[in-house]
Structure 1
Amino acid sequence: MSENFGRVGVLYGGCSAEREVSLMSGQGVHAALTSVGIDAHLFDPGKQSLVDLANAGFDRVFIALHGRYGEDGTLQGALELLQLPYTGSGPLASSLAMDKIMTKRVWLEQNLPTPGFAILTESSDLDEVVAAIGLPLIIKPPHEGSTLGVTKVGKLEELSAAYRLAARYDAEILAERFISGRELTVPVLGKGKSARALPIVEIVAPQGNYDYEHKYVSNDTQYVCPAKLDTALTREIMTLAERAYVALGCEGWGRADFMLDADDRPWLLEMNTSPGMTSHSLVPMGAKAAGMSYVDLCVTILASASCKVLAPPAA
């Protein structure tokens, strides 16, 4: 197997606010790949330069980075310039999916269901925002993941503090209508017409609070996979996940997050183009339910590594 893939770099760590999660993801991926004889090596762009990456002699890389400078298209653009095949989506899809506001705009243009929203800045009239969206609502920095800077706002007087927290991460902030219901996520593998959703995972967090602690640290959160939904609704949600993934131009792998309201209407929240691969992570759960081991999942993703932008013609 090592002969098929050559020398493989597992990019992990990085310099985003999600560095600690990425370190865990990368270590898991590295252990999985080496367990089947792949010549895999950990590489931390947070401590090593692009020059080091160019000189590392990798034949392809597995991106296990989360957040800025790893999942947002910037690194993908550098890898295109280096002509170094990599896992996951290309620069444009990565950039779009990392920006929750642009993601929602694309989905709305494609008639995909996503909660109503407004964009907050320092000059926003918060009364107008509440009047337009209603309460409760969710305040998010649009370029972060792992629930960093996210607040549920139930009263107008809580909105200013929630905005200030989110503004630590971004200049423009997403205010989104809160959907009460069941929290679901759907892993997706492939590209274009070959994209296929894996079994749906339902997340049952204490008091519905799926924050950083309940994602990565505690064992209090329960996961149900496949989610207990009727056949027609399951197919509807999986199809929506595939459509949402393709609409953004994603490829390789990803994960679509949903809320299912009390009327069993699914609402798309966001798309992750480099999802977590830790012991608590959701894509491996969906893969396991589809009969794919963690190792098989890592190898399948690695096999899809490619450059997405056409190389310039030779001089």
Structure 2
Amino acid sequence: MAERTVAVLAGGLSHERDVSLRSGRRLSVALRGQGLTVEEWDTDAGLIERLRKHRPDAVIVALHGGEGENGSVQTVLEMLEVPYVGTSSQGCRRAWDKPTAKALLEKSGYATPAWVVLPHSTFRELGAQDVLDAIVERLGLPLILKPDQGGSALGTQVVREASELPAAMVGCFAYGDTVLAERLVEGVEVAVTVIETDAGPVALPAVEIVPENGVYDYTARYTAGLTDFFAPARLSDESAKAVGELAVAAHRLLGLRDISRTDAIVCEDGTVQFLEVNLSPGLTETSTVPMAVEASGSSLGSVFGELVSRAVERRS
């Protein structure tokens, strides 16, 4: 372990660059504490040359959004035969698209809030107001709007009145060309981290999320003090088991690998609603994965150190 060199990829050009850099720095410190030699690399025009020249024993993709989660960087690593921690390029493409992930989970019998997906062109061609009216008629209010691809809740808008919908849609389209409109379900919001072990994927204790303003948006995620977290979540044993089973099921059904985070809502009647899955979850001071790891009695360095070992072994 001590002789291994790990390259942590962080930064990139997505809207989540700053968060990725924070995640990369924290992860690098944790891995160095495990005796690993760690290099922090940005993803720029020099990345492939660095990979060819330095050939790290493994790469950890700590990129959020864009090429870090849509399978692009993973494809490059696969072409160069560089082992890496995280989901394969094919799995990334499945899970990166929120509607695809929701459809696969729903088809397998798991609950997810009703939704529709529409590109920006539909509003231009069919008339924005008519399309908006049809959305409300189909899903009701309140709604939550989010880009069909992306992370960190960027572009996410909550709509409680029909009059708010046009402006919210414009705000959402600022982060993508296609919008996922979803029925807003009330309940306990949780994030469940899944880690792969020799015994298979295991769900860590769920983390309960209580944002000050009621919406877990970008600001609430990454500004200390704006959200209260409870790890483990304040759930009944039955609900805690259910969210863990959902997260493991999502990990398996979507073909994920090594680590993932599933976001869900536990409704008052005990129903667990799948929201989305994250392939490269944040590792900042306000991110839920480190909280879940700590609640499980482990440490970020030891967890990712083991994942590095798994990645290296996959190569041999």
Q: How high is the TM-score relative to the length of structure 2?
A: 0.92
**Could you say which residue in structure 2 is the equivalent of 1:286?**
292
Counterpart residue type for residue 102 of structure 1: T
Matching residue within 114, 117, 131 for 1:116: 114
Query: Partners of 1:46 and 1:157 in 2: how far apart?
Result: 43
Paired residue type of 1:88: G
TM-score, with structure 1 as normaliser: 0.93
Distance in 2 separating the partners of 1:260 and 1:129: 24
User: When the two structures are aligned, how many residues end up with a matched partner?
Assistant: 308
In structure 2, which of residues 165, 169, 172 is the aligned counterpart of residue 159 of structure 1?
165
Q: Which amino acid aligns with 2:140?
A: G
Structure-2 residue corresponding to 1:16:
14
Identity in percent:
36
Q: Give the SS at the match of 1:303.
A: helix
Q: Secondary structure at the match of 2:252?
A: helix
Gaps of 5+ in 2: 124-130
Match of 2:189 in 1: 183
Change (3 A) 1:192 1:266: farther
Q: Hey, what's the Cα distance between the residues in 2 that align with 1:144 and 1:105?
A: 17
Alignment of 1:1-315 (within 5 A): 1-3=1-3, 6-46=4-44, 48-122=46-120, 123-124=122-123, 125-190=131-196, 194-305=200-311
Deviation at 1:270, TM superposition (A): 0.5
SS at match of 2:195: strand
CA distance in 2, matches of 1:304, 1:216: 30
Q: Deviations over 1:140-170 (max 9, x none)?
A: 0011111100000112222222222221222
Deviation at 1:263, TM superposition (A): 1.6
RMSD (CA atoms): 1.9
- Asked whether the 8 Å contact 1:88–1:251 carries over to 2, the reply is yes
One-letter amino acid of the counterpart of residue 31, structure 2 = L
The one-letter amino acid of 1:212's match is Y
Unaligned runs of 5+ in 1: none
Displacement of 1:306 in angstroms is 5.5
The alpha-carbon distance between structure 1 residues 127 and 101, as it changes in their structure 2 partners (threshold 3 A), is same
Q: Which amino acid aligns with 2:64?
A: H
SS in 2 for 1:9: strand
Query: Offset of 1:244 from its aligned partner?
Result: 1.2
- Residue type matched to 1:2 in 2? A
Q: Secondary structure at the match of 2:68?
A: coil
Q: Which runs of 4+ in 1 moved over 4 A?
A: none
